[in-house]
Amino acid sequence: MQEFFKEIKGVPAVMGSYLHVNGAKEINSDLPKIFLGKIGEIGEIFDRVIKVGLATNMHTSSIEFKYDEAMIFMRPIDPDSCLITFCETGVNKKMLNMTTGMLGSEMKQAVSRIRQGVSAAPVPPPPPSKPEPVKPPPPSAQSIDVNKIIHAGPMAKIFQDFQDALAMAIGPISEMVMKDSVEIWAKEGECSQDRLPELVDLLIREIDDVSLEAEFKLAIKQHLS
């Protein structure tokens, strides 16, 4: 599997790919670590896109989504699997489509191997007859409105600058990472400028690249002085 990932990444401006197989728990990807926390959700979104296309008799060899910082290409393999490739905006789309098209049989074989692993997985034991009652979340967690904190709170401009800098480091998933990190940060204390270094630490964990971390810190330095 790593061989065809390597071949796709040989196309200039390709960041990496993810082989999504509906029902598989293992992440089969060569994308940087920062992508892996959300890649499963993205795969599920594209899985629904494929299902809608089949239901409406709309067949396509590939679908592309363009953002300011990056592009995402999805190539269906079968009704329950697809290849998702993240690229910079300057990627040669013709070369990428040609490369992924030539690897069609290898991808089908990889999907088949993944499914064999899924079917061979042990069946989990049944749940206990008397499950423990679900504890309600603490009041502080219920009252958190992440969108309001980021976009309408007193530090909205700072958060926008943080997200812009994060997008330069990790691309189109920056918005999701920003929301998740702010939610964790807000649950741990008051949303104040004095606690911004704690939020920065959370965001840096998701970047996972020394040079990109340095660029991110430089871009937001004005807000931490």
Domains annotated on the chain, with CATH: 2-118 (3.30.450.30), 139-223 (no CATH)
And the tokens for 28?
Answer: 């089969």
Instruction: State how far the Cα of 2 lies from the Cα of 107, in Å rounded to an integer.
Output: 11
Instruction: Please compute, for residue 151, the number of CA atoms within 13 A of its CA located in the half-sphere on the CB side.
Output: 6
| Nearest 10 degrees: Cα torsion 205, 23, 9, 91 | -90
Q: Please answer whether residues 15 and 88 qualify as being in contact, where contact means their C-beta atoms are separated by less than 8 angstroms.
A: yes
Tens-place pLDDT, residues 50-104? 777 777 776 667 788 887 778 889 898 988 889 999 999 889 999 998 999 899 8
Strands lying side by side in the sheet with 71-78: 14-21, 81-87, 71-78, 63-66
Tens-place pLDDT, residues 119-176? 554 556 666 666 666 655 544 444 678 889 998 889 999 999 999 998 888 877 888 8
Please state whether the predicted TM-score (pTM) of the whole model is above 0.75. Answer: no
